[in-house]
Chain A
């Protein structure tokens, strides 16, 4: 499916989605309250985005425009149609909460745990939301831009 067709599909289901075509792939920005329904629709509908190949988060605190902003970035592709879509969801940095998608894509379970561990994003209804690589009593979320560790972090 071409980008234009994907766009038309998405607009019919989610009229307030905004698009960005400057990157390599089509990007769509989805409001956080519509995310879960949108994800289920991506998986099941004509788009058949069955392969979630990258799930991550970006902390914008070090930029002037994004003092209170985290962005979840999901890279989907379809093994049937071979089209790719990047979905972004903006979160409130002080209280980041988003619905899990581990019930739609199994790979999301571990990736979401990693994001929870390193960014502190709360994934609602996640089956097993614990820290993944750091110890349970670790304080802070290292990949956030304001994380400080004077002993172990070397600044160049």
Chain B
């Protein structure tokens, strides 16, 4: 018997009769995933349907659980950062950034201004790349194939820029405690400026293609409504919570690096439906471009890395740092016993909390709407499983 079959059998029996979660007679239990094109990864949802209406969604996780937290307990403070690129691989830079910040907090290390600006530039380019992939994939989930190629055309340019400076296209591992690993490539500034010039008009093109499309609007407006109170209770962050009117941008609330010196707006929509979450991300693209524009000509001269000891040792204590990834608040909680490896490390990943709201917001929706809801939650599975 397959594991999936077992899960379906248990889903039927574990629901108590008469309770709010009870499966009515005639209900149909189906699997979406773990190999389903619209889940973009090995996410497995067991869905209870009444006709076409969703009664209940049960996420089953762990298909790519690698126990990264346990792994980190035996890696040094320099080594563990590389593992985190493999969690939310679309925000690899930002994950690395969060970890580097946490180690720096423990060491009370000052990062040189040049490194700070490079880090923020990389973060924002990553955010653009991540949102582009989301935009293309989301449109594809809803049946529009062309946007995917449009999005990847521009995303490719960012990947090339990353490759030139960091040596990798997806799992970058560029940020280290104390700064960044290498200085930027001599072509970096020119190529980023070329990209920005190219990209600014493209956002309008995206709007023409998808945002204003009446079919797209009908499929997303009023679908999967998450209220502000629920968003907070479910621990949602990032564009998911901001689509519900919750101000939660870490870059604004607890600014790190040079985010308090650049001008950008926190995008907040109040409708809470899939369309609102979509709008937040599309508008964030423009804000990220704004940040890059302000910084690209103002990279200060100086060191790209602070002087650090060969072996890093954090003092005994607890350290927590957080950054805003493309998906929301990414937190790193390190418990140190004074050694060269973390005693315990916990990654508070945004996707995990955002996923927990899926069951709540999908109940009562049609099964076709589920793709729109999952698309706008922007789930990255390794980020959830870890």
Contacts and interface: CB of A to CB of B under 8 A. Distances in A.
Nearest to A131: B62
Given A105-B235, A106-B233, A143-B69, A56 B346 contact: yes
Given A54-B320, A62-B343, A143-B67, A132 B232 contact: no
Given A132-B62, A143-B67, A79 B335 contact: no
Contacts of A111: 235, 352
A142 B232 contact: no
Nearest to A117: B62
A106 B337 contact: no
Contact of B385 (A73, A109, A110, A133): A133
B81 to A, nearest CB: 16
Contacts of A128: 14
B318 A134 contact: no
B51 interface: no
B246 interface: yes
A23 B318 contact: yes
A106 B320 contact: no
Contacts of A110: 352-353, 355-356
- B interface, size bucket: 35 or more
Contact of A109 (B67, B329, B356): B356
B232 A134 contact: no
B348 A134 contact: no
A58 B335 contact: yes
B230 interface: yes
Most buried by B among A59, A143, A147, A155: A143
B61 interface: yes
A154 B319 CA distance: 26
B233 A107 contact: yes
Contacts of B105: 24
A155 B74 contact: yes
A51 interface: yes
Nearest to A80: B232
B234 interface: yes
A63 B335 CA distance: 12
Contacts of B193: none
Contacts of A114: 352
A52 B65 contact: no
B3 A75 contact: no
A99 interface: no
A12 interface: no
A151 interface: no
A50 B233 CA distance: 7
B317 A23 contact: yes
B232 A50 contact: yes
Interface in B303-354: 317-320, 329, 331, 333, 335, 337, 343-344, 346, 348, 352-353
A121 to B, nearest CB: 14
Contacts of B3: 135
Interface string B66-94: 01011000110000000000000000000
B251 interface: no
Contact of B344 (A59, A106, A107, A153): A59
A63 to B, nearest CB: 6
B366 interface: no
A50 B230 CA distance: 10
Contacts of A142: 67, 70
Contact of B232 (A22, A23, A79, A118): A79
A106 B360 contact: yes
Nearest to A107: B235
Contacts of A135: 3, 62
A53 interface: yes
A133 B70 contact: no
Given A107-B353, A143-B70, A24 B319 contact: yes
Q: Which 9 A-B pairs have the closest CB atoms?
A: A107-B235, A133-B62, A133-B65, A56-B346, A110-B356, A106-B233, A54-B348, A106-B234, A58-B344
Interface of A: 22-25, 50-54, 56, 58-59, 62-63, 73, 75, 79, 82, 105-107, 109-111, 114, 118, 128, 132-135, 142-143, 147, 153-156
Given A51-B232, A58-B344, A105-B233, 8 more contacts: A51-B235, A53-B329, A79-B247, A109-B356, A114-B352, A118-B67, A143-B344, A147-B70
27 contacts: A22-B317, A23-B318, A50-B233, A51-B232, A54-B346, A56-B346, A58-B335, A58-B343, A58-B344, A62-B343, A75-B320, A75-B331, A79-B247, A79-B248, A106-B360, A107-B233, A107-B235, A107-B356, A110-B352, A128-B14, A132-B61, A135-B3, A135-B62, A142-B67, A142-B70, A143-B67, A156-B75
